[in-house]
Amino acid sequence: MSRKPKPLEGVRVVELGQLIAGPFAGKFFAEFGADVIKVEPPGKGDPLRQWRGMHGDTSLWWYVQNRNKKSVTLDLRLPEGQEIARRLLRGADIVIENFRPGTMEKWGLGYEVLSRDNPGLIMLSMSGFGQTGPMHDQAGFGSVGESMGGMRYVTGFPDRAPVRMNLSIGDALVALHGVIGTMMALHHRNAGGGKGQIVDVALFEAVFNMMEGTLPEFDMFGEIRGRTGTGLSGIVPSNTYPTADGQHVVIGANADSIFKRLMVLIGRKDLAEDPTLADNAGRCKRVDELDAVIGEWTGRHGVEEVVGKLNGAQVPNGKIYSIEDIVRDPQYLARGMIRDVMLSDGKSLKVPGIVPKLSETPGDLEWVGPALGEHTQSVLEGCGYDAAQIEGFRARKIV
């Protein structure tokens, strides 16, 4: 079977970012064929190497977040390190950074400097508050972006403090917006004369972009969408319901015809035929009643029976999965979303598959996150440095 090409083959990306947002963006480019060179500080490297669950001296998250990338160590705080970075960036299509605004300029790596030697360079800059505005120079982590972007305010129960997902969703959102913006800029450069540009993405703006109709609803009606627990404001029924075996299932029966099928399924034909419940507006007025009726039905059956009956009636639903459920789910397995890789010590490790799936130019997993500085020698040789120069850099702890 012949190897299918990847869509970003021939594109070189230099990733200067650390931890979550920058590397998560770089991962997408690497999975789809770009030559992604990750620059890390000598010694300890990206702090993500030491975060959360460890295998030996390396984070398991590292193997996923930095797969298909090349690791180069380089001290960007030193003038010689900055000069090496400038040489490396002369041959790049994209540079990714997620430092506090002004840091790249302090290092002599601002876009104005880099674009003189490489006018086609695209710089993806991700930060808490963007490159402009009165808060641009403030530090901003994903949790801050989630809070100021509005997401935390609507998450949780109305009688309790706002809660967060046990995930860094803000960092993921800014990275996804960054990848989209960078691909737009790359297309513009390739189709419109070869000029690069800066893609400026702020964490709080990426989160705010997910806030649906909350702004016009506030402007028009003065409505401030708040926390509704497991429900969804203005969409009924769409909630989480308990089952007899202690599990939970999400049911989305908010379309009019689906609502009727659900009511018939659970033995409430009277509600299916009730004209006041024929549309979403009417159902919103009786949300508590409907949730109680549905919850009473799910509470009398185990989760597998509930899911089976709902699927038979073509009512959208899903058991709330733990990672243990995900690993053995046949749909995940059929779609190649659970991959097995081999670590350097021979240990097998399950990692997520590739998203999205392209029919003609699919992405793939070539190798897991590299050892610190694994590719320093080969990458610097590709930039024109000889072995003696590279050894000198090592001796002076520049690389």
Q: What is the pLDDT of residues 188-197, one digit of tens each?
A: 999 988 899 9
User: Model confidence at 140, in pLDDT bands (50, 70, 90)?
Assistant: confident
Instruction: State what percent of residues in the chain have pLDDT above 90.
Output: 96
Question: What's the pLDDT score for residue 118?
Answer: 98
CB 36 within 8 A of CB 13: yes
Query: Interhelix angle for 169-191 vs 21-31, to 10°?
Result: 50
The string of DSSP letters for 200-246 reads: EEEHHHHHHTT-TTHHHHHHHH-------TTS-TT-SSEEEEE-TTS
- Identify the CA nearest to 218 among candidates 301, 293, 154: 154
Average pLDDT of the residues in 146-171: 95
Structure tokens at 199: 């893609």
Q: Kindly tell me if the per-residue pLDDT of 382 is higher than 90.
A: yes
User: Model confidence at 3, in pLDDT bands (50, 70, 90)?
Assistant: confident
Average pLDDT of the residues in 205-223: 97
Question: What's the pLDDT score for residue 193?
Answer: 86
Instruction: State what percent of residues in the chain have pLDDT above 70.
Output: 99
CA distance 289 to 196: 57
CB 93 within 8 A of CB 55: no
E strand or H helix that includes residue 62: helix 60-65
CA distance 203 to 177: 9
**Mean of the per-residue pLDDT values of the chain:** 96
Average pLDDT of the residues in 234-241: 96
The residue to which tokens 């995900």 are assigned: 326
Question: What's the pLDDT score for residue 1?
Answer: 57
Query: Interhelix angle for 303-312 vs 256-265, to 10°?
Result: 130
Question: What's the pLDDT score for residue 309?
Answer: 98
Q: Kindly tell me if the per-residue pLDDT of 139 is higher than 90.
A: no
Q: What are 314-371's pLDDT values in tens digits? A: 999 999 999 999 999 999 999 999 999 999 999 999 999 999 999 999 999 999 999 9
Average pLDDT of the residues in 271-297: 97
Structure tokens at 210: 């997910």
Question: What's the pLDDT score for residue 283?
Answer: 98
Render the burial of 311-331: b for 16+ CB within 10 Å, e for the rest: eeeebebebeeeeeeeeeeee
Q: Kindly tell me if the per-residue pLDDT of 2 is higher than 90.
A: no
User: Model confidence at 275, in pLDDT bands (50, 70, 90)?
Assistant: very high
pTM for the full predicted model: 0.94
- Identify the CA nearest to 203 among candidates 167, 164, 175, 166: 175
- Which are the contacts of 216, defined by CB distance < 8 A and separation ≥ 6? none
Average pLDDT of the residues in 202-217: 97
Residues annotated as catalytic (active site), given as ranges: 171
